[in-house]
Structure 1
Amino acid sequence: MPKVDQPLLTLSNIEEAANNIKGAVLKTPFLPAIQLDAATGASVFVKYENMQVTNAFKERGALNKLLHLSDTEKSRGVIAMSAGNHAQAVALHAQRLGIPALIVMPNGTPYVKVEATKAFGAKVILAGETVDDAKNEADRLAQEHNYTWVHPFDDLEVIAGQGTIALEMLREQPDLDTLVVPVGGGGMISGMAVAAKAIKPDIEIIGVESDLYPSMYAALRGRSMECGGNSLAEGIAVKVPGTLTQQLCKQFVNDVLLVSESQIEEAINVFLTRLKTVAEGAGAAGLAAICAHPERFAGKKVGLVLCGGNINPRLLASIMLRQLLRLGNIIHIRCTIPDNPGILGEISTLIGELGGNILEVSHHRLFLDVSVKGATLDVAIETRDSKHADEIIVALEKRDIHVSHLSSGEMRF
């Protein structure tokens, strides 16, 4: 009789991983997100993996892998390459288990992730511009020093560990119709897909990638697509998905959707303002897909993985401000005014009477594009919404003050 091919990964492997990591990795909350239901047309439940100690899901796979190492492999030390979350996961659990760890990270890795990795006791080397560049350097170092590799996604123990997320989600909400999972190298989605399909064969597994890095999207379609660019979702900015993960995704994943950088940015803001939680770019990719493709999820009970919350605070503040500008909650205007005594007071009084809050003001008399008897006034105003902003502008123009909208870069503060 012909030999029956053994599956790469089974539900029992993932259940074993769940037992291995129990007590050392948090069982994160899986909660309804009623605030998202009306906007998306779906019944959305969020798995808050940003609440892990390292603020990301990667601890599951990293720990499961470390626990499978022999004493000899542990004594040699481990090496990993990562844009940040896998790095912190390996560092944390290697330190806890007494295993030396070296992490290679791309040069553009957010400072918060680099410092957190060092704080967990690992040695960090920055090399290259992408995770693929970092992998090349890690390969060289592993061969030179005989380190044990802990791959971020293309390893069956790592994949099994990530698959435990689906076990927890389906135990709490067994009637989920769809799982929406961010995709980089494919470790999380392939592990979750194996577990979910074994438990509930008709469940739909949807991956999400940035349109700058459509690597798994292309692989599932048998196509070659260009990958590259400075992505807000650096955690899933992977040019080449894993060999093992591709096999599993082709077998168990229904589809992969692409989202734009602006859609990811807006999803980060939605998590922050509506759900009062922090998502990094990769963590927000799933929500970006639900918002970008509402017809795909309408009427379904959707399990969404918020896979990480490690984002540079300055970047997060910028995202919040940019969204306020988009919504008209902050406007930047330039008023062309006569250079008369009291004009500034009149303008500020008018804006205040209409309920606007002046954030910044800059008064200029010496610009050559303004009449010698005139001046310009650049004003940043906080408003209730875009309609309120329009009311303020109309009121100013009724006072014979010419008003023009400005981008932030045009302001003369």
Structure 2
Amino acid sequence: MASATSTTSLVTLDTFRAAQERIRGVAVHTPLIPFSLPGGSSISAWLKDESKQPIKSFKLRGAYNKIAQLSDEERRRGVITYSSGNHAQGVAYAARAVGAKAVIVMPSNAPEIKKQATLALGAEIVTVGPSSSDRKIKAEELEREHGYVMIPPYDHPAIIAGQGTVGLEILADIPDVDLVLAPVSGGGLLSGTAAAIKHLRPEVRVLGIEPALAADAEESFRGGSLVSWPAEMTTRTIADGLRTQSLGDLNFLHVRAFVDDIVTVTEDEIREAMRTIVRSTPIVPEPSGAVTAAALLFHQDKLLPAVKAVAVMSGGNVEPEILKQVMES
């Protein structure tokens, strides 16, 4: 675990616990589903099924934690964010719950299922180019022009605190867990989950998992400084929720302080993990959610000496056509 960061910027255990209380009754305490590993593996594994959230993704946790803390005046102004889909739904759902207008800047290559779900929650969508920088720039422009309140997708303490409630739930359900795997894109889920767990159980290993085709987080982690990958590289992966070009600044601080390693998985491994999950559990994962299962299935050498492992299955908003192609290949 790296430790080259000031503790003053890090989300505290009290803040994670406050977020847990704030989202109670809105976000779901999601179940752990047993996940059998092949070849007589010594690891007992579970998938934490975030597709059981009302928006079928963990993103509701952070979005609601942030929006629930807005003043009445801020709610009247409305909120804005930028997202490829799951955070879009989280913000739309949370904004509707508190009676605020939501505007979402989405990339042109966002899955149609995520666009339609966002519209169904009452949000207004603005479409831009495929890169994550495009949508961030446009959202900030609209924020200035209309006075909306920005709800960042990952680089904010309230977002990190909300996503970190995943870690608190894992420890509550399996107190003797010794390995937790979380997908990593902008870093909200990984940084929050790792920090919440390490505050309580510093001996638990927490790993980030990302596609090899969008491995900016691994490069940043290995090199010790934040790097960004161009959109034409990160958009190659089937895992549309993990195409962010760089970790957030605050997320990277948490990753360096609390994360033990970052492991990458191939596109074939993600697809095979999806097939295995569908065939052996009641879960239907999106590609981004299957990366942790891919690590369990294909990279156990990097996970040992784990005995009890939990892999966060971050979402189930998969395009029907993508699922059909994966299952038939």
- TM-score normalised by length of structure 1: 0.74
Q: Which residue of 1 aligns with 2:12?
A: 10
| Structure 2: tracts of 5 or more residues without a match | 1-5
How has the CA–CA distance of structure 1 residues 218 and 119 changed in structure 2, closer, same or farther, with 3 Å as cutoff? Answer: same
- The alpha-carbon deviation at position 252 of structure 1 amounts to 0.5
Q: Which residue of 2 aligns with 1:243?
A: 249
Q: Which residue of 1 aligns with 2:25?
A: 23
Q: Distance in 1 between matches of 2:10 and 2:172?
A: 24
Asked if the contact 1:40–1:290 (Cα under 8 Å) also holds between the matched residues in 2, the reply is: no
Q: Which residue of 1 aligns with 2:3?
A: none
Q: Which residue of 1 aligns with 2:264?
A: 258
Q: Which residue of 1 aligns with 2:140?
A: 139
Q: Which residue of 2 aligns with 1:54?
A: 55
How has the CA–CA distance of structure 1 residues 281 and 266 changed in structure 2, closer, same or farther, with 3 Å as cutoff? Answer: same
* Aligned match for 2:324, one of 295, 317, 324: 317
- The alpha-carbon deviation at position 40 of structure 1 amounts to 4.9
- The alpha-carbon deviation at position 5 of structure 1 amounts to 5.9
- The alpha-carbon deviation at position 292 of structure 1 amounts to 2.1
Instruction: Supply the AA of the counterpart residue of 1:150.
Output: I
Larger radius of gyration: 1
Asked if the contact 2:228–2:246 (Cα under 8 Å) also holds between the matched residues in 1, the reply is: no
Q: Which residue of 2 aligns with 1:398?
A: none
Superposed CA deviations along residues 310-331 of structure 1, whole A, max 9, x for unmatched, are: 0100110111100xxxxxxxxx
Q: What SS does the aligned partner of 2:118 have?
A: helix
How has the CA–CA distance of structure 1 residues 296 and 70 changed in structure 2, closer, same or farther, with 3 Å as cutoff? Answer: same
Q: What SS does the aligned partner of 1:308 have?
A: coil
Asked if the contact 2:33–2:281 (Cα under 8 Å) also holds between the matched residues in 1, the reply is: no
Instruction: Supply the AA of the counterpart residue of 1:102.
Output: V
* Aligned match for 2:289, one of 237, 260, 283: 283
- The alpha-carbon deviation at position 296 of structure 1 amounts to 2.3
Paired residues for 1:194-205 under 5 Å: 194-205=195-206
- The alpha-carbon deviation at position 307 of structure 1 amounts to 0.4
- The alpha-carbon deviation at position 7 of structure 1 amounts to 4.4
Instruction: Supply the AA of the counterpart residue of 2:294.
Output: A
Superposed CA deviations along residues 17-72 of structure 1, whole A, max 9, x for unmatched, are: 00001111111112322x33646542101111011111000000000000111222
- Alignment of 1:78 with 2:79, yes or no, is yes
Paired residues for 1:141-156 under 5 Å: 141-156=142-157
Superposed CA deviations along residues 96-130 of structure 1, whole A, max 9, x for unmatched, are: 11000000111001100000000001001111113
Asked if the contact 1:186–1:245 (Cα under 8 Å) also holds between the matched residues in 2, the reply is: yes
Q: Distance in 2 between matches of 1:36 and 1:130?
A: 36
Paired residues for 1:86-105 under 5 Å: 86-105=87-106
Q: What SS does the aligned partner of 2:137 have?
A: helix
- Alignment of 1:274 with 2:275, yes or no, is no
Q: What SS does the aligned partner of 1:79 have?
A: strand
Asked if the contact 1:42–1:297 (Cα under 8 Å) also holds between the matched residues in 2, the reply is: no
Asked if the contact 2:210–2:291 (Cα under 8 Å) also holds between the matched residues in 1, the reply is: yes
* Aligned match for 2:301, one of 272, 292, 295: 295
Q: Percent identity?
A: 36
Q: Distance in 2 between matches of 1:174 and 1:76?
A: 43
Q: Which residue of 2 aligns with 1:388?
A: none
Instruction: Supply the AA of the counterpart residue of 1:260.
Output: T
- Once superposed, which parts of structure 1, at least 4 consecutive aligned residues long, lie more than 6 Å away? none
- The alpha-carbon deviation at position 189 of structure 1 amounts to 0.8
Q: What SS does the aligned partner of 1:55 have?
A: coil
Q: Which residue of 2 aligns with 1:161?
A: 162
Asked if the contact 1:41–1:294 (Cα under 8 Å) also holds between the matched residues in 2, the reply is: no
- The alpha-carbon deviation at position 226 of structure 1 amounts to 4.2
Instruction: Supply the AA of the counterpart residue of 2:246.
Output: V
Q: Distance in 2 between matches of 1:262 and 1:133?
A: 29
Query: Which one is further off, 208-217 or 104-113?
Result: 208-217
Instruction: Supply the AA of the counterpart residue of 2:250.
Output: L
- The alpha-carbon deviation at position 244 of structure 1 amounts to 0.2
Q: Which residue of 2 aligns with 1:391?
A: none
Paired residues for 1:162-201 under 5 Å: 162-201=163-202
Instruction: Supply the AA of the counterpart residue of 1:118.
Output: L
Question: What RMSD, in angstroms, separates the aligned Cα atoms of the two structures?
Answer: 1.6
Q: Which residue of 2 aligns with 1:344?
A: none
- The alpha-carbon deviation at position 131 of structure 1 amounts to 2.5
Asked if the contact 1:40–1:291 (Cα under 8 Å) also holds between the matched residues in 2, the reply is: no
Q: What SS does the aligned partner of 2:214 have?
A: coil
Q: What SS does the aligned partner of 1:221 have?
A: helix
- The alpha-carbon deviation at position 165 of structure 1 amounts to 0.5
- The alpha-carbon deviation at position 232 of structure 1 amounts to 0.8
Q: What SS does the aligned partner of 2:109 have?
A: coil
Q: Which residue of 1 aligns with 2:34?
A: 32
How has the CA–CA distance of structure 1 residues 159 and 5 changed in structure 2, closer, same or farther, with 3 Å as cutoff? Answer: closer
Q: Which residue of 2 aligns with 1:389?
A: none
Q: Distance in 1 between matches of 2:122 and 2:260?
A: 39
Instruction: Supply the AA of the counterpart residue of 2:284.
Output: V
Asked if the contact 1:214–1:225 (Cα under 8 Å) also holds between the matched residues in 2, the reply is: no
Paired residues for 1:302-341 under 5 Å: 302-322=309-329
Q: Which residue of 2 aligns with 1:339?
A: none
Q: Distance in 2 between matches of 1:46 and 1:162?
A: 16
Q: What SS does the aligned partner of 2:84 have?
A: coil
How has the CA–CA distance of structure 1 residues 225 and 79 changed in structure 2, closer, same or farther, with 3 Å as cutoff? Answer: closer
Superposed CA deviations along residues 306-362 of structure 1, whole A, max 9, x for unmatched, are: 00000100110111100xxxxxxxxxxxxxxxxxxxxxxxxxxxxxxxxxxxxxxxx
> How many residues are aligned here?
318
How has the CA–CA distance of structure 1 residues 225 and 262 changed in structure 2, closer, same or farther, with 3 Å as cutoff? Answer: farther
Higher relative CO (Cα under 8 Å, sequence separation at least 6) belongs to 2
